[in-house]
Amino acid sequence: MPTLARSLDEALATIGDGTSVLIPREGAGVAMAATCALIRRGVTRLTLIATPTASLQADLLIGAGCVEAVEAAAVSLGEFGPAPRFTAAITARAIAMRDSTCPAIHAALQASEKGVPFMPLRGLIGSDVLAHRPDWRVIDNPFGNHDPIVLLPALKPDIALFHAPLADRDGNLWIGQQRDLALMAHAAAKTVVTVEKLHETNLFEDPLLAAGALGGFYLEAVAVAPRGAWPLPLPDHYPADEAHLAEYARLAATPEGFARYLDQYVHERRAA
């Protein structure tokens, strides 16, 4: 049974310097309140693994100096443009980047989920990405002749970190239609989540919620953080704060503007 933490800091205690952290795509339940708490704590040398893309969360952590490596299919602010602190870090070679693809990341996580050392994938053959990933191996299909296939080593991050609508007091979690979150929890060594609120009865005993529930035995810690995905969206609960994201893109375009953003929205919000 996971710990029902009294605070964000208590829930995040297992995420220390040098941890590999698995994060979801924008719109699947990004733990933004937890992200700000990690920045305030000054965690460093994180490896971020995106499932399979990242946005504001990764850009904030990179800009704040928390990250040493990223594995992702893309890091972008979407309609608000490139991720400015990620772009600056890549240009300065301040972080390591392991380019991947959406199917490759999912396949490597599925290998970990299934407890096998690798997963085969077809579509990488001939790609520029394959040429830059020496950890991916091309072999001949043992069941065919002259039929190359790529083997991807299992990805097993230290921690999966995400935000969800509900947890019950037994530690079970409701993720609804966001099934990537289940893959993340299955693949990672430990899972830490924030939720909008606690549900008073067991989720698996509610016929309307049971199908979208994830068993508490996959979770390490749960913390309540209302609007914990803001300014990103939480599906079926609140939309993205587009005005805020536009302000972030404008401020984060320069180191000075990014520092002002951290002062106003990461450090000051805690004091408020």
* The 3-state secondary structure of 10-63, one letter per residue: HHHHHCCCCCEEEEECCCCCCCHHHHHHHHHHCCCCEEEEEECEECHHHHHHHH
Domains of the chain, start order: 3-101+157-271 (3.40.1080.10), 118-153 (no CATH)
Read off φ and ψ for residue 267, nearest 5 degrees: -85, -45
- Residue 4 reports pLDDT greater than 80: no
Whether 1 has a pLDDT exceeding 80, the answer reads no
pLDDT the model gives residue 272: 43
pLDDT at position 69 over 70: yes
- Cα–Cα distance measured from residue 30 to residue 49, given in angstroms and rounded to the nearest whole number: 13
pLDDT tens by residue, 199-257 = 999 999 999 999 999 999 899 999 999 999 999 999 989 999 999 999 999 999 999 99
Rounded Cα–Cα distance for residues 145 and 108 (Å)? 25
Tell me: pLDDT of 5 over 80.
Answer: no
pLDDT-derived band at 270, boundaries 50, 70, 90:
low
The pTM of the full predicted model, rounded to 2 decimals, is: 0.94
User: Which residues fall within 8 angstroms of residue 189, CB to CB, at 6 or more apart?
Assistant: 156, 157, 158, 159
